[in-house]
Amino acid sequence: MGFSAALQGEMGHAAVLGRQDAELRLLDTMRRILVARAKCDREYSAALTQLARTADKMDSPDPLLDDSKLHKAWRVMVDGLEDWSNTMRENADTLVADTVEKLVALITEKRASRKVYYEEHQRITNEVSRLQEAVGKARAYYEQTLELYKSSKTKYEDQFLKGKPGRRLDELKERYQKACRKLHQMHNDYVLLLCEAADYERDFRTVLLPGLLEYQERVQEDMVDKWRSILLEVWELTDTSKGRYSEIQAEVGSAVNAISSRTEYSAFSEENKSSPPEPVTFEFCSDLLGDGVGSLQPGRLAVDSLTVDSLRLRLTDIEHRLKEVMAELREKQNLLNQHETEVATIRKGMGAGGVGGMFQESPHLASRLPVLKRASDVLHRELNELRCKESWLQHQHSLIHDPLAALGCEDPPTNQPWETTHVNGDSTCKSKSLLSLNFAHQRDSLSLKSRSTAIKELLRKPFSRWEDQAGTEEPVGPPPTTSPADQHSLNDLAITPDGATTPVDHPQATSPAIPNASGMLLCPGGPGGAINGIPELTYDPDRCLEDEPWFHGVLPREEVVRLLVEEGHYLVRETTRNDEQQIVLSVCWGSHKHFIVQTTPEGHYRFEGPAFPTIQELILYQHQCGLPVTNKSGAILRTPIFRERWELNNDDVELREKIGRGNFGDVYKARLRDSGLEVAVKTCRVTLPDEQKKKFLQEGRILKQYDHPNIVRFIGICVQKQPIMIVMELVPGGSLLSFVRNHKGQLTVKQMMGMCLDTASGMAYLESKNCIHRDLAARNCLVGHRNSVKISDFGMSREEEEYYVSDGMKQIPIKWTAPEALNFGKYTSLCDVWSYGVLCWEIFSSGEVPYHGYSNTKAREMIDTGYRMQAPINTPDTMYQLMLKCWQYDPDNRPHFPEIYSSVHDIYLSL
């Protein structure tokens, strides 16, 4: 019985940790005793050597004994005594320098194994606890939302039955609709969370926990084999094969040979056998909805006009995550197949030539086989976890996709005749609301049936099929007709972003000059001049807010502060607060002040002064009147800050084809509408926090300063609306890593040297600009025409001579990063030099993973002890020597990039 079957319970887990601690103590005791034993043997060897030399001095040559057999026998004994001493000293030295070092390495490995097992066990068990807690909180919030819904529904019914239409009724209706939408969305969140929790809990018991224990058992068995080999070495080094020693060593040998990794833990597993953890049930509480709430059903998603958009967004996110998981599955499966093929090749050679003969010819194969086995075990465990994740996501995908597909709603919605168009956060009625029409029709029909019956029917079916294609009800006939008088009154209603109906103002067909509070005229159009030295703005009624040069879209606040540098500088931008889009006026006045544009009940815009039908007129008035935006701030608008030339409009970029995925979002092949130029576009996910968006824009801010043939060219940034995008030149060859992998065996040495030369040229340019890239690797370089290389991905870059990181190593590429950056968080251009050496190794190895077969932690330990990777096949010796210079532990001993470029150029010309 193995670990996975017997030790799933808490008692079994504690026993595994206790057994490992006991084995660590035993290993440490062995290390101490063996070191002491070697010291004793050396002292004994020294005493024997001294004794042999004393015998030589005392036994002076005597011609009378030249033919004596006794004398010759004595000389053989004395000479043998010195040989005995030398052999014992050599064995003691080997015991300390080799065997004890292996024992120390085994102790380190065992401690690391225990830590990994403990952390992995904590991680997967904590996830069950987290999901239990999340389900409890979600249920509590569900109950609160349900109470709010019932309360708002009751109030709306009471007001409606009073037969007093007006603002109060509209407000109660709006609250009811918001509560209804919130309940439906909360219902879906709760159902999906229960599904996720149940799937994870099942996989925890059947796959993850047994898999972890099975992996830990294999790790323990591998270390038992290493432990056994160490004891065999000790036995061989201390075996004198004389007298009692022979008997003792025979007993030791018999005991050591009796060790078997397969049976080592059999009795231990049986003795500490415990039951697996009890299943945790995640089910929709059947009494949560009581007698029922509308069309909501326990354990089933609510797919209707209130939830269809959010479900589509969630479905899109799940599909993205599924693609990532499946890609990672394929990558790890391919790597596992490579390992298994290599293992089969090694074992085939062992069978043909014999273990001893083969390992004599290729000693590294003896150590390669256990490394491959350990790496394969890790991949098996990671593949199991990825398959579980794929299963969870597919289940969630089907839960959302199937009901959407049944209603024909799986595609993104298009503007329907009854939908509201949102521009820059302003809601303008594209045509009359059918929801409002239905409501008016129901209200006018009250004479035909009782009010109570009407209100029940209206609340039972607030969204009929002809009102919204995403509804759940069947068609109830054509939309009701209205009289011209009704039509006029209903045109004054529009659907707000949250689904409620509010009055809207209808501007006249012609827009005359508008007098402001100080008597100035706000001209609808025409060229602008200047009044008292202040730039005059003009208002064009045909120009939307996005086209105003002083409107900067969703530009983050940090970028806004960078643009507003003098007193009176201002601009307008858009932000999202509590899931609501808001227009903000940012002004530099003493400090940086940000004013949210207020909306009146009539749909006009204002600060503290008069209200205007459009934001453009409000800003024009505030600019010309010379009065403070608010009395408290005293901020006066003097100089509008127009968009920079590289700030493009999102509509100017036509996304064509998704070609990759970055840290912040997707990467697309696109086209500029005006010029027809094909470009590459990086997008930033809308859901990212502001801090991440700031890091995303930092890459664009760095790139726009640089102009070099080996640096990817910056074209512009789109911040007028979501998603934020960085537009760069399209480099046709894709990433350097994929390129060298796809052209393995096809590139000449000179072509690969040319790639190293291009990279050195670009990095020398960056070093001259005091730019530290911090993530230089083949994956972050692009291949252009004629195999030219361009450096890309400046998301981690810093424009400083020296930079310190204090936020941990979460996103640090360990195998490409210099030791001083890993150990002390200190980055300089010489850290990029270390990464450049690894990049060159990637090129000549055709894209192999650095320190292949070693974890990040192990690779880091090996580097600290002086290990450096061997040169790939066909690497010029002078180039490998340059790599070794780049990998000098002391950064001061590494060359700078101008020197590297010169050296690589000389090597390139010599080929």
Report CA-CA distances (Å) from 435 to 234, 293, 491, 667, 789. Answer: 87, 20, 12, 39, 58
Is residue 457 within 8 Å of 463, Cβ to Cβ?
no
Q: Which residue has the higher pLDDT, 498 or 365?
A: 365
CA atoms within 13 A on the CB side of 164: 9
Q: Indicate whether 763 pLDDT > 90.
A: yes
- Confidence band, pLDDT 50/70/90 cuts, at residue 746: very high
- Per-residue pLDDT reduced to its tens digit, 831-840: 999 999 999 9
- 667 in a known ligand binding site: yes
Has 661 been labeled as part of a binding site?
A: yes
Q: Please identify every residue annotated as catalytic.
A: 775
Phi-psi region of 745 (alpha: psi -120 to 50; beta: other; left: phi over 0): left
pTM of the predicted model over 0.75: no
Query: Cα(872)–Cα(870) distance, rounded to whole angstroms?
Result: 6
At 759, is the pLDDT very low, low, confident or very high (cuts 50, 70, 90)?
A: very high
DSSP SS3 for 725: strand
- Are the beta carbons of 750 and 806 closer than 8 angstroms? no
- Lookup: tokens for 190: 């709760």
Predicted confidence (pLDDT) at residue 469 exceeds the cutoff of 50? no
Measure the CA–CA gap between 179 and 185, rounded to whole angstroms.
10
Over residues 477-500, the mean pLDDT reads 33
Classified by CATH at the fold level, domain 647-729 comes out as: Phosphorylase Kinase; domain 1 (3.30.200)
626 annotated as ligand-binding: no
User: Do 537 and 557 form a contact (C-beta atoms < 8 A)?
Assistant: no
> What was the pLDDT predicted at 458?
32
CA-to-CA distance for 576 and 276, rounded, in angstroms? 48
Give residue-wise pLDDT tens across range 201-224.
999 999 999 999 989 889 998 999
**Mean pLDDT of the 220-245 span:** 82
Residue 501: is its pLDDT beyond 70? Answer: no
Residue 768, pLDDT above cutoff 50: yes
User: Is 847 marked as binding a ligand?
Assistant: no
- The whole-number average pLDDT for the span 399-422 is 57
Q: Cα angle vertex 726, ends 722, 728, to 5°?
A: 150
At 436, the pLDDT band (50, 70, 90 cuts) reads very low
- The whole-number pLDDT of residue 159 equals 85
Residue 294 assigned ligand-binding role: no
> What's the token pair of residue 35?
């070191």
Tell which wins on pLDDT, 363 or 616.
616
pLDDT band at residue 250 using 50, 70 and 90 as cut-offs: low
660 among annotated binding-site residues? yes
CATH number of the domain at 514-640, out of 3.30.505.10, 3.90.1300.10, 3.40.630.30, 1.10.10.10? Answer: 3.30.505.10
pLDDT over threshold 60, residue 896: yes
Task: Compute the distance between CA of residue 841 and CA of residue 99 in angstroms, rounded to an integer.
Answer: 33
Segment 233-245 mean pLDDT: 74
Query: Does 666 count as an annotated binding residue?
Result: yes
Is 346 among the annotated ligand-binding positions? no
Higher pLDDT, 406 or 51: 51
pLDDT classification of 292: cutoffs 50, 70, 90: low
State what percent of residues in the chain have pLDDT above 70: 79
Tokens coding 798? 């810093």
In this prediction, residue 636 has a pLDDT band, given cuts at 50, 70 and 90, of very high
Least confident window among 312-321, 682-691, 766-775, 817-826: 682-691
- The mean per-residue pLDDT over the stretch 429-451 comes to 34
| Cis before 723? omega within 30 | yes
Q: What number is the average pLDDT over the span 56-76?
A: 72
Class of domain 3-59+71-302: mainly alpha
Check whether 456 is labelled as a binding-site residue.
no
| The CATH homologous superfamily of the domain defined by 736-910 | Transferase(Phosphotransferase) domain 1 (1.10.510.10)
Token reading at 778: 């083949």
Average pLDDT over residues 452-461: 35
Helices 749-768 & 829-844 angle (0-180, nearest 10):
170
Higher pLDDT, 590 or 555: 590
Alpha-carbon gap, residue 766 to 836, rounded angstroms: 13
Of 272 and 801, more confident:
272
- Which two structure tokens, joined as six digits, stand for 147? 């109470």
Q: State residue 522's pLDDT score.
A: 37
- pLDDT at residue 561 in the model: 86
pLDDT at residue number 693: 77
Mean pLDDT, the chain, rounded, equals: 78
**Span of 58-67, 225-234, 565-574, 803-812 with lowest mean pLDDT:** 803-812
Query: Is the distance from CB of 282 to CB of 202 less than 8 angstroms?
Result: no
Q: Is 663 annotated as a binding residue?
A: yes
